[in-house]
Amino acid sequence: MSEKKNISPPESAVGRRDFMKFMGTAALGAGASGVPGAAEAAAPSLPSSFPKVKEITLPITHPDALAVTAEDHLLAGGENLVLHLDRNGAELARYPIDGRVFALLSLGNTLLLGFRHGVVHFDPATEKQDRWEGFNERSCVTAVTKDENHIFVADAGNRVVLRYDLQGRLINRIGDNKDDGTPGFIVPSPYFGISMDPLGMLWVINPGRHGVESFRPDGSPVSTWYKAGASLDAFCGCCNPIHIAWRSDHSLVTVEKGLNRVKVYAPDFSIRGLVQGPLEITGLPVNLSPREAPPLTGLAVDSQDRIMVLNARDRSISIYEEKNA
Q: State the Cα–Cα distance between residues 61 and 272, nearest whole angstrom.
A: 34
Looking at residue 137, the DSSP 8-state letter turns out to be T
Least confident of 47-61, 270-284, 295-309: 270-284
Spatial separation of the C-alpha atoms in residues 252 and 266, rounded to whole Å = 7
> Helix, strand, coil % (nearest 5) of the chain?
10, 40, 50
Position 160 confidence tier, pLDDT thresholds 50, 70, 90: very high
Range 16-324: architecture per CATH: 6 Propeller (2.120)
Q: Has residue 30 got a pLDDT over 50?
A: no
Which range of 129-143, 272-286, 288-302 scores highest in mean pLDDT? It is 129-143
pTM of the model: 0.86
Query: How many other CB atoms are found less than 10 A from the CB of residue 146?
Result: 17
Residues 6+ apart with CB under 8 A from 227: 8, 11, 210, 211, 233, 234, 235, 269
pLDDT at 182: 57
Identify whether the C-beta of residue 187 lies closer than 8 Å to the C-beta of residue 158.
no
- In this structure, are residues 251 and 265 in contact, taking their beta carbons and an 8 Å threshold? yes
Q: Does residue 260 have a pLDDT over 70?
A: yes
The per-residue DSSP string of 219-283 comes to S-EEEEEE-BSSSTTSB-SSS---EEEE-TTS-EEEE-SSS--EEEE-TTS-EEEEEE-HHHHHS
pLDDT band of 139, cuts 50, 70, 90: very high
Going from the C-alpha of 207 to that of each of 49, 104, 189, 202, 213, the distances in angstroms are 26, 21, 9, 16, 10
Q: Are 101 and 65 in contact (CB under 8 A)?
A: yes
| Residue 218 pLDDT | 94
Q: Give the pLDDT band of residue 14 (cuts 50, 70, 90).
A: very low
Cis peptide before 241 (omega within 30 of 0): yes
Strand order, beta sheet including 170-174: 141-146, 150-155, 160-165, 170-174
Instruction: Give 28's pLDDT tier (boundaries 50, 70, 90).
Output: very low
Per domain, the residue ranges of the chain are 16-324
Contacts of 29 (CB under 8 A, 6+ apart): 43, 232, 261, 263, 274, 276, 277, 278
Residues near 66 by beta carbon (within 8 Å), at least 6 away in sequence: 74, 75, 76, 77, 104, 297, 298, 299, 300, 308, 310, 317
